[in-house]
């Protein structure tokens, strides 16, 4: 029995991707070797790289003058790579959550950081808006979805300077106009694949010489020149991304999944708002379709609620310690049926507790 996996990440993946991955781990393409033991320079893996890149390009509509890279080290490594490669004098950061805050702290190691907007005053329960972006900054850094606090940018700011966006927790969940961004990065382990690979989409002409010493592996140019094969890439993680994106394409791509994600979010937030026991934690207009944070008005019921959800096969809804309560992450691969199970449990819990 598959669990109803509402975990915040690494998160649920499509069953077809799991099946392809398990099969390839035993014998890949009937070549008498596992995907885990083939050379990253083999023609079999070459085909995986080409197909994965081509799926990213097609699904997100990445223009030709961008490079698509598969790196290691997660978004946390990008927090350093971005300023090391792009921060010459000053960068603008929007402080919209724990990860955005980590990104700007890391940037401060390398130059001046202008925090042009923050929602820290209300425990990051909303997305900052209406801020001015200084034209003298090297770039603007934003976070499209705040996994921990459950907020999501519904519109992206018009910017006079290059835009860098951490899309770790909502990439591939909705269409985005990639041409409005200069660098997009995302740890794969939510909507794209397993932990262990980081997607970077970078506009080729954004890189200029920097004065500081940057380790070879932390230079974007290294990986652009090497086509993500400067050193051994995380072969299997990239394969799982390919299988996950093949599934996404098969169901209609990002426009189709956006509708499904919207339906899941409507169903879930509808229950939160109508159920007398529960309340949301964020500004309604900023609520994330990926991560829904919610509380029991009476926290004494928390333990009992965890018990009944567990009994229903629901996993991963304990809230992050920074917010408390609960969080239902509804990534692409989570079926709407799982949301129905959760909302049904919430309904029954309200009836029983009333």
Q: Select the residue interacting with a second copy from 51, 54, 77, 101 (CB under 8 A).
A: 77
**Rounded-to-integer distance, Cα 58 and Cα 295, Å:** 39
From residue 93 to residue 112, the character string flagging contacts with a second copy as x (rule: CB under 8 A) and all else as - is: -------------x--xx--
Shortest CB 166 distance to a second copy, Å: 13
Structure tokens, 342: 């959760």
Map residue 183 onto helix, strand or coil. strand
170 in active site: no
Question: Would you give the binding string for a second copy spanning residues 244-283, x where CB under 8 A is met?
Answer: ----------------------------------------
Count interface residues toward a second copy (CB under 8 A).
64
Provide DSSP, 85-100.
Answer: HH-SSEEEEEE-SHHH
How far does CA 88 lie from the centroid of its chain?
27
210 is a contact residue toward a second copy (CB under 8 A): no
CB nearer a second copy, residue 72 or residue 131: 72
Site for a second copy contains 196 (CB under 8 A): yes
Nearer to a second copy, 62 or 330 (CB): 330
Q: Does 319 bind a second copy (CB under 8 A)?
A: no
Tell me the window of 1-9, 59-67, 85-93, 136-144 that interacts with a second copy (CB under 8 A): 1-9
Q: Which stretch binds a second copy (CB under 8 A): 60-68, 79-87, 127-135, 273-281?
A: 79-87
Among positions 54, 88, 112, 230, the unique one binding a second copy when judged by CB under 8 A = 230
Among 74, 150, 280, 325, binds a second copy (CB under 8 A): 74
233 binds a second copy (CB under 8 A): yes
User: Closest Cα partner for 165 from 129, 119, 219, 203?
Assistant: 203
Minimum CB distance to a second copy smaller for 54 or for 76: 76
Q: Which of 95, 138, 166, 286 is catalytic?
A: 166
190 is catalytic: yes
Give the SS3 label for residue 9. Answer: coil
Convert 262-295 to b/e letters by CB count within 10 Å (16 or more is b): eebbeebbebbeebebbebbbeeebbbbbbbbbb
- What is the b/e burial string over 317-341, where b = at least 16 CB atoms within 10 angstroms of the residue's CB? bbbbeebebbbbbbbbbbbeebbeb
Residue 48 C-beta: closest distance to a second copy, Å: 12
SS3 340: helix
Nearest partner of 117 among 129, 134, 101, judged by Cα: 129
CA distance 26 to 33: 7
Catalytic residue flag (residue 102): no
Q: Is 241 exposed, middle or buried (0-12, 13-18, 19+ CB in 10 A)?
A: buried
Would you say 211 and 85 are in contact if contact means Cβ atoms under 8 Å apart? Answer: no
**Which one of 16, 25, 114, 131 is in contact with a second copy (CB under 8 A)?**
25
CB-CB contact of 94 with 100 (8 Å)? yes
Binding site for a second copy (CB under 8 A): 1-3, 5, 7-13, 18-19, 21-23, 25-26, 31-34, 36-40, 72-77, 79-80, 84, 106, 109-110, 187, 189, 193-197, 213, 215-218, 230-237, 240, 313, 315-316, 333
């Amino acid at each position: 029995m598959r669990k109803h996996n509402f975990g915040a990440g690494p998160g649920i993946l499509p069953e077809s991707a799991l099946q392809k991955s398990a099969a390839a781990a035993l014998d890949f393409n009937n070549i008498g070797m596992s995907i885990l033991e083939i050379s990253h320079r083999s023609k079999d893996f070459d085909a995986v790289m080409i197909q994965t890149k081509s799926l990213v390009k097609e699904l997100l509509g990445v223009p030709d003058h961008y490079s698509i890279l598969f790196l290691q080290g997660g978004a946390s490594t990008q927090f350093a790579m971005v300023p090391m490669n792009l921060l010459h004098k000053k960068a603008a950061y929007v402080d919209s959550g724990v990860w955005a805050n980590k990104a700007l702290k890391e940037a401060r190691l390398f130059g001046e950081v202008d925090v042009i907007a923050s929602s820290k005053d209300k425990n990051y329960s909303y997305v900052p808006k209406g801020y001015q972006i200084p034209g003298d900054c090297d770039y603007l850094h934003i976070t499209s979805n705040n996994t921990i606090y459950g907020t999501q940018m519904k519109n992206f700011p018009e910017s006079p300077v290059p835009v860098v966006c951490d899309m770790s927790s909502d990439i591939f969940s909705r269409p985005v106009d990639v041409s409005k961004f200069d660098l997009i990065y995302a740890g794969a382990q939510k909507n794209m694949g397993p932990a262990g690979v980081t997607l970077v989409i970078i506009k080729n002409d954004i890189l200029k010489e920097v004065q500081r010493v940057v380790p070879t592996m932390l230079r974007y140019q290294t990986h652009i020149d090497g086509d993500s094969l400067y050193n051994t890439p995380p072969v299997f993680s990239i394969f799982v991304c390919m299988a996950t994106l093949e599934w996404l394409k098969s169901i209609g791509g990002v426009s189709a999944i956006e509708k499904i994600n919207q339906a899941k979010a409507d169903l879930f937030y509808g229950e939160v708002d109508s159920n007398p026991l529960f309340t949301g934690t964020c500004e309604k207009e900023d609520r994330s379709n990926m991560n829904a944070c919610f509380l029991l008005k009476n926290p004494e019921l928390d333990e009992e609620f965890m018990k009944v959800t567990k009994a229903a096969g629901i996993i991963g809804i304990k809230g992050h310690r920074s917010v408390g309560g609960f969080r239902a992450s509804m990534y692409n691969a989570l079926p709407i049926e799982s949301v129905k199970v959760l909302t049904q449990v919430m309904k029954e819990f309200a009836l029983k507790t009333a």
